[in-house]
Protein backbone atom coordinates (compact mmCIF):
# COMPACT_ATOMS: atom_id res chain seq x y z
CA UNK A 1 0.00 0.00 0.00
CA UNK A 2 2.76 2.44 0.93
CA UNK A 3 4.58 1.60 -2.31
CA UNK A 4 1.47 2.37 -4.39
CA UNK A 5 1.07 5.71 -2.63
CA UNK A 6 4.72 6.59 -3.18
CA UNK A 7 4.84 5.39 -6.81
CA UNK A 8 3.89 8.73 -8.48
CA UNK A 9 6.61 10.52 -6.54
CA UNK A 10 9.19 7.83 -7.38
CA UNK A 11 8.31 8.07 -11.06
CA UNK A 12 8.68 11.86 -11.01
CA UNK A 13 12.00 11.57 -9.21
CA UNK A 14 13.27 9.00 -11.74
CA UNK A 15 12.17 11.16 -14.65
CA UNK A 16 13.92 14.18 -13.17
CA UNK A 17 17.17 12.23 -12.75
CA UNK A 18 16.97 10.95 -16.33
CA UNK A 19 16.42 14.45 -17.72
CA UNK A 20 19.29 15.85 -15.66
CA UNK A 21 21.63 13.09 -16.89
CA UNK A 22 20.56 13.59 -20.51
CA UNK A 23 21.07 17.35 -20.20
CA UNK A 24 24.62 16.93 -18.85
CA UNK A 25 25.68 14.35 -21.40
CA UNK A 26 28.97 15.39 -23.01
CA UNK A 27 30.13 14.51 -26.54
CA UNK A 28 32.77 12.15 -25.14
CA UNK A 29 30.32 9.86 -23.35
CA UNK A 30 29.14 7.96 -26.50
CA UNK A 31 32.80 7.24 -27.35
CA UNK A 32 33.43 5.99 -23.82
CA UNK A 33 30.33 3.78 -23.97
CA UNK A 34 31.49 2.42 -27.34
CA UNK A 35 34.94 1.65 -25.90
CA UNK A 36 33.35 -0.10 -22.94
CA UNK A 37 31.08 -2.16 -25.20
CA UNK A 38 34.03 -3.10 -27.38
CA UNK A 39 35.98 -4.25 -24.31
CA UNK A 40 33.05 -6.45 -23.21
CA UNK A 41 32.79 -8.01 -26.68
CA UNK A 42 36.52 -8.69 -26.74
CA UNK A 43 36.39 -10.38 -23.33
CA UNK A 44 33.43 -12.48 -24.48
CA UNK A 45 35.35 -13.47 -27.62
CA UNK A 46 38.41 -14.53 -25.62
CA UNK A 47 36.17 -16.39 -23.13
CA UNK A 48 34.57 -18.37 -25.96
CA UNK A 49 37.93 -19.22 -27.54
CA UNK A 50 39.31 -20.19 -24.12
CA UNK A 51 36.79 -23.04 -23.94
CA UNK A 52 37.64 -24.38 -27.39
CA UNK A 53 41.15 -23.25 -28.40
CA UNK A 54 43.16 -21.48 -25.64
CA UNK A 55 46.28 -21.37 -27.84
CA UNK A 56 44.34 -19.44 -30.50
CA UNK A 57 42.92 -17.18 -27.79
CA UNK A 58 46.46 -16.51 -26.52
CA UNK A 59 47.65 -15.62 -30.02
CA UNK A 60 44.78 -13.17 -30.48
CA UNK A 61 45.31 -11.66 -27.02
CA UNK A 62 49.03 -11.16 -27.59
CA UNK A 63 48.30 -9.40 -30.87
CA UNK A 64 45.87 -7.10 -29.07
CA UNK A 65 48.41 -6.47 -26.31
CA UNK A 66 50.95 -5.27 -28.87
CA UNK A 67 48.33 -3.29 -30.79
CA UNK A 68 47.14 -1.52 -27.62
CA UNK A 69 50.51 0.21 -27.51
CA UNK A 70 49.40 2.41 -30.38
CA UNK A 71 45.96 3.38 -29.07
CA UNK A 72 47.30 5.93 -26.55
CA UNK A 73 43.95 6.94 -24.97
CA UNK A 74 45.43 9.29 -22.35
CA UNK A 75 44.48 12.95 -22.22
CA UNK A 76 47.11 15.38 -23.48
CA UNK A 77 47.91 18.24 -21.11
CA UNK A 78 47.21 21.66 -22.63
CA UNK A 79 50.29 23.59 -23.71
CA UNK A 80 51.07 27.21 -22.94
CA UNK A 81 52.32 29.30 -25.81
CA UNK A 82 55.85 29.42 -24.38
CA UNK A 83 55.92 25.62 -23.97
CA UNK A 84 55.14 24.69 -27.58
CA UNK A 85 57.84 22.54 -29.12
CA UNK A 86 59.10 24.11 -32.33
CA UNK A 87 58.78 21.95 -35.43
CA UNK A 88 62.53 22.29 -36.00
CA UNK A 89 63.10 20.27 -32.83
CA UNK A 90 60.89 17.40 -33.99
CA UNK A 91 61.92 14.99 -36.73
CA UNK A 92 61.80 11.34 -37.82
CA UNK A 93 64.79 9.05 -37.83
CA UNK A 94 64.40 5.55 -39.26
CA UNK A 95 60.63 6.00 -38.96
CA UNK A 96 60.76 6.98 -35.26
CA UNK A 97 59.32 10.38 -34.34
CA UNK A 98 61.69 12.19 -31.96
CA UNK A 99 61.24 15.43 -30.00
CA UNK A 100 64.22 17.35 -28.62
CA UNK A 101 64.02 20.12 -26.01
CA UNK A 102 66.47 22.22 -24.02
CA UNK A 103 69.93 23.66 -24.72
CA UNK A 104 72.10 21.73 -27.16
CA UNK A 105 75.07 21.70 -24.78
CA UNK A 106 73.09 20.55 -21.70
CA UNK A 107 73.34 17.10 -20.06
CA UNK A 108 71.64 14.58 -22.36
CA UNK A 109 68.48 12.84 -21.08
CA UNK A 110 66.37 10.23 -22.90
CA UNK A 111 62.74 9.76 -21.80
CA UNK A 112 61.00 6.48 -22.69
CA UNK A 113 57.21 6.21 -22.37
CA UNK A 114 55.29 3.10 -21.37
CA UNK A 115 52.66 0.77 -22.79
CA UNK A 116 49.38 2.15 -24.16
CA UNK A 117 50.90 5.64 -24.45
CA UNK A 118 53.27 7.70 -26.58
CA UNK A 119 55.85 10.43 -26.03
CA UNK A 120 53.21 13.08 -25.30
CA UNK A 121 52.79 11.60 -21.84
CA UNK A 122 56.42 12.46 -21.03
CA UNK A 123 56.26 16.05 -22.26
CA UNK A 124 55.43 17.77 -18.92
CA UNK A 125 58.54 16.19 -17.37
CA UNK A 126 60.56 16.91 -20.52
CA UNK A 127 59.69 20.61 -20.39
CA UNK A 128 60.49 20.84 -16.70
CA UNK A 129 63.89 19.22 -17.26
CA UNK A 130 64.59 21.44 -20.28
CA UNK A 131 63.89 24.48 -18.08
CA UNK A 132 66.66 23.18 -15.78
CA UNK A 133 69.16 23.26 -18.65
CA UNK A 134 68.98 19.60 -19.72
CA UNK A 135 68.92 18.44 -23.34
CA UNK A 136 65.93 16.08 -23.47
CA UNK A 137 64.98 13.56 -26.18
CA UNK A 138 61.44 12.13 -26.24
CA UNK A 139 60.70 9.45 -28.88
CA UNK A 140 57.40 7.84 -29.80
CA UNK A 141 58.22 4.13 -29.70
CA UNK A 142 57.62 2.29 -33.02
CA UNK A 143 53.93 1.72 -33.69
CA UNK A 144 52.87 4.50 -31.31
CA UNK A 145 52.07 8.19 -31.70
CA UNK A 146 53.63 9.62 -34.87
CA UNK A 147 56.19 6.85 -35.29
CA UNK A 148 55.95 4.37 -38.14
CA UNK A 149 56.05 0.60 -37.91
CA UNK A 150 53.93 -2.01 -36.24
CA UNK A 151 53.82 -2.52 -32.46
CA UNK A 152 56.35 -5.11 -31.28
CA UNK A 153 57.50 -6.99 -28.20
CA UNK A 154 59.40 -5.07 -25.50
CA UNK A 155 62.63 -6.86 -26.45
CA UNK A 156 62.19 -5.84 -30.11
CA UNK A 157 61.44 -2.24 -29.09
CA UNK A 158 64.66 -2.14 -27.05
CA UNK A 159 66.62 -3.37 -30.07
CA UNK A 160 65.14 -0.61 -32.23
CA UNK A 161 66.12 2.01 -29.63
CA UNK A 162 69.69 0.72 -29.71
CA UNK A 163 69.83 1.00 -33.49
CA UNK A 164 68.23 4.45 -33.38
CA UNK A 165 70.83 5.87 -30.98
CA UNK A 166 73.79 3.73 -32.10
CA UNK A 167 75.83 6.66 -33.38
CA UNK A 168 74.67 9.13 -30.73
CA UNK A 169 76.81 10.40 -27.88
CA UNK A 170 76.35 8.62 -24.55
CA UNK A 171 73.26 9.76 -22.69
CA UNK A 172 73.87 11.15 -19.22
CA UNK A 173 70.57 9.70 -18.04
CA UNK A 174 67.79 7.44 -19.34
CA UNK A 175 64.38 7.72 -17.64
CA UNK A 176 61.69 5.11 -18.26
CA UNK A 177 58.11 5.40 -17.05
CA UNK A 178 56.03 2.26 -16.41
CA UNK A 179 56.81 -0.32 -19.12
CA UNK A 180 59.27 2.26 -20.48
CA UNK A 181 61.43 1.56 -17.43
CA UNK A 182 61.48 -2.11 -18.35
CA UNK A 183 62.26 -1.31 -22.00
CA UNK A 184 65.11 0.96 -20.82
CA UNK A 185 66.59 -1.88 -18.71
CA UNK A 186 66.46 -4.25 -21.70
CA UNK A 187 67.98 -1.65 -24.03
CA UNK A 188 70.84 -0.96 -21.62
CA UNK A 189 71.47 -4.69 -21.37
CA UNK A 190 71.66 -4.80 -25.17
CA UNK A 191 74.20 -1.98 -25.35
CA UNK A 192 72.36 1.38 -25.22
CA UNK A 193 75.00 3.94 -24.19
CA UNK A 194 74.01 5.72 -20.96
CA UNK A 195 75.66 6.67 -17.68
CA UNK A 196 72.59 6.46 -15.41
CA UNK A 197 69.09 4.99 -15.28
CA UNK A 198 65.96 6.11 -13.44
CA UNK A 199 62.75 4.07 -13.44
CA UNK A 200 59.40 5.66 -12.57
CA UNK A 201 56.51 3.38 -11.54
CA UNK A 202 58.03 0.50 -13.51
CA UNK A 203 57.28 -3.23 -13.16
CA UNK A 204 60.06 -5.39 -11.73
CA UNK A 205 60.13 -7.87 -14.64
CA UNK A 206 58.40 -8.65 -17.91
CA UNK A 207 56.65 -11.56 -16.18
CA UNK A 208 55.17 -9.16 -13.62
CA UNK A 209 54.16 -6.74 -16.41
CA UNK A 210 52.24 -9.48 -18.21
CA UNK A 211 50.74 -10.78 -14.96
CA UNK A 212 49.42 -7.29 -14.11
CA UNK A 213 47.97 -6.94 -17.61
CA UNK A 214 46.23 -10.32 -17.46
CA UNK A 215 44.77 -9.62 -14.02
CA UNK A 216 43.67 -6.10 -14.91
CA UNK A 217 41.86 -7.30 -18.04
CA UNK A 218 40.44 -10.39 -16.31
CA UNK A 219 41.65 -13.00 -18.79
CA UNK A 220 40.78 -16.73 -18.36
CA UNK A 221 43.45 -18.85 -16.64
CA UNK A 222 44.10 -21.27 -19.54
CA UNK A 223 44.46 -18.46 -22.07
CA UNK A 224 46.71 -16.54 -19.65
CA UNK A 225 49.07 -19.52 -19.30
CA UNK A 226 49.15 -20.02 -23.06
CA UNK A 227 49.85 -16.29 -23.59
CA UNK A 228 52.81 -16.29 -21.18
CA UNK A 229 54.29 -19.30 -22.96
CA UNK A 230 53.81 -17.73 -26.37
CA UNK A 231 55.32 -14.38 -25.33
CA UNK A 232 58.29 -16.18 -23.80
CA UNK A 233 58.92 -17.81 -27.18
CA UNK A 234 58.65 -14.41 -28.88
CA UNK A 235 61.18 -12.83 -26.48
CA UNK A 236 63.50 -15.86 -26.49
CA UNK A 237 64.08 -15.72 -22.72
CA UNK A 238 62.18 -16.51 -19.50
CA UNK A 239 59.92 -13.53 -18.82
CA UNK A 240 60.79 -13.56 -15.09
CA UNK A 241 64.48 -13.00 -15.95
CA UNK A 242 63.86 -10.01 -18.24
CA UNK A 243 64.44 -7.00 -16.01
CA UNK A 244 66.14 -8.50 -12.93
CA UNK A 245 69.08 -9.88 -14.93
CA UNK A 246 69.68 -6.47 -16.55
CA UNK A 247 69.59 -4.80 -13.10
CA UNK A 248 72.16 -7.24 -11.74
CA UNK A 249 74.50 -6.90 -14.70
CA UNK A 250 74.46 -3.13 -15.23
CA UNK A 251 77.21 -1.16 -13.49
CA UNK A 252 75.73 2.32 -13.91
CA UNK A 253 73.91 4.14 -11.06
CA UNK A 254 70.20 3.30 -10.80
CA UNK A 255 67.42 5.30 -9.09
CA UNK A 256 64.01 3.69 -8.50
CA UNK A 257 61.03 6.06 -8.10
CA UNK A 258 57.41 4.96 -7.66
CA UNK A 259 54.02 6.53 -7.02
CA UNK A 260 53.00 5.59 -3.49
CA UNK A 261 49.33 5.16 -4.45
CA UNK A 262 49.87 3.52 -7.85
CA UNK A 263 47.00 1.11 -8.55
CA UNK A 264 48.14 0.07 -12.03
CA UNK A 265 51.69 -0.95 -11.16
CA UNK A 266 51.72 -1.52 -7.36
CA UNK A 267 54.35 0.24 -5.28
CA UNK A 268 55.70 -3.18 -4.22
CA UNK A 269 57.21 -3.48 -7.71
CA UNK A 270 59.82 -0.88 -6.72
CA UNK A 271 61.07 -3.25 -4.00
CA UNK A 272 61.23 -6.00 -6.63
CA UNK A 273 63.54 -3.90 -8.79
CA UNK A 274 65.76 -3.01 -5.83
CA UNK A 275 65.96 -6.67 -4.74
CA UNK A 276 67.86 -7.48 -7.94
CA UNK A 277 70.77 -5.24 -6.95
CA UNK A 278 72.46 -4.48 -3.64
CA UNK A 279 72.36 -1.01 -2.09
CA UNK A 280 69.16 0.22 -3.73
CA UNK A 281 66.31 1.88 -1.83
CA UNK A 282 63.18 3.03 -3.67
CA UNK A 283 61.82 6.55 -3.39
CA UNK A 284 58.03 6.84 -3.05
CA UNK A 285 56.16 9.99 -4.07
CA UNK A 286 52.83 10.67 -2.37
CA UNK A 287 49.64 12.35 -3.60
CA UNK A 288 49.96 10.91 -7.11
CA UNK A 289 49.11 7.81 -9.10
CA UNK A 290 50.58 5.94 -12.05
CA UNK A 291 50.20 8.79 -14.53
CA UNK A 292 50.18 11.92 -12.37
CA UNK A 293 53.56 10.93 -10.89
CA UNK A 294 55.06 12.48 -14.03
CA UNK A 295 53.65 15.85 -12.89
CA UNK A 296 54.80 15.50 -9.27
CA UNK A 297 56.49 18.73 -8.06
CA UNK A 298 59.40 16.80 -6.49
CA UNK A 299 60.23 14.67 -9.54
CA UNK A 300 62.29 17.27 -11.44
CA UNK A 301 64.36 17.93 -8.33
CA UNK A 302 64.99 14.20 -7.90
CA UNK A 303 66.26 13.95 -11.47
CA UNK A 304 68.58 16.96 -11.16
CA UNK A 305 69.87 15.77 -7.78
CA UNK A 306 70.50 12.27 -9.15
CA UNK A 307 72.60 13.76 -11.97
CA UNK A 308 74.56 16.02 -9.62
CA UNK A 309 75.03 13.35 -6.93
CA UNK A 310 76.40 10.74 -9.30
CA UNK A 311 78.55 13.32 -11.14
CA UNK A 312 80.15 14.39 -7.84
CA UNK A 313 80.73 10.73 -6.93
CA UNK A 314 82.43 10.08 -10.28
CA UNK A 315 84.61 13.17 -9.83
CA UNK A 316 85.64 12.01 -6.35
CA UNK A 317 86.55 8.55 -7.63
CA UNK A 318 88.57 10.09 -10.46
CA UNK A 319 90.58 12.23 -8.02
CA UNK A 320 91.69 9.12 -6.12
CA UNK A 321 92.95 7.30 -9.22
Is residue 31 assigned to a domain? no
Confidence (pLDDT) at 22: 54
Cα separation, 222 vs 239, whole angstroms: 18
Q: Structure pTM?
A: 0.83
The closest alpha carbon to 199, from 191, 190, 209, belongs to 209
Query: For the chain (length 321 residues), average pLDDT per consecutive 10?
Result: 48 61 52 67 85 90 77 42 51 92 96 94 96 96 89 90 91 97 97 97 97 92 94 94 95 97 96 94 96 96 95 52 43
* Contacts (Cβ under 8 Å, ≥6 apart) of 132: 300, 304
Confidence (pLDDT) at 316: 45
For the chain, state the CA radius of gyration. Answer: 23
Is residue 28 assigned to a domain? no
Is residue 6 assigned to a domain? no
Is residue 73 assigned to a domain? no
Is residue 12 assigned to a domain? no
Is residue 82 assigned to a domain? no
Confidence (pLDDT) at 13: 61
Is residue 198 assigned to a domain? yes
Cα separation, 175 vs 193, whole angstroms: 13
Is residue 308 assigned to a domain? yes
Confidence (pLDDT) at 313: 60
First vs last C-alpha separation in the chain: 94
Residues present in the chain in total:
321
Confidence (pLDDT) at 174: 98
Q: Which domain holds residue 261?
A: 43-68+93-320
**Which residues is 111 bridged to in the sheet?**
175
CATH of the domain at 185: 3.40.50.1820
Q: How many domains does the chain have?
A: 1
Amino acid sequence: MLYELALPGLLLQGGYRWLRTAWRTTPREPALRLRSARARLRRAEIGLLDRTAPVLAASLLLRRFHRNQSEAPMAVMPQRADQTVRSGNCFRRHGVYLRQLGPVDGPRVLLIHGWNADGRMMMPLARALADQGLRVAVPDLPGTGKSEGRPRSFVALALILNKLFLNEKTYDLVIGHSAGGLIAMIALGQGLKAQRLMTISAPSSLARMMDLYLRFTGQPARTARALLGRYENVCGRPLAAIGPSECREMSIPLKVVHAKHDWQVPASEAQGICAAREGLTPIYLGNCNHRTVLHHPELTGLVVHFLQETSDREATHASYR
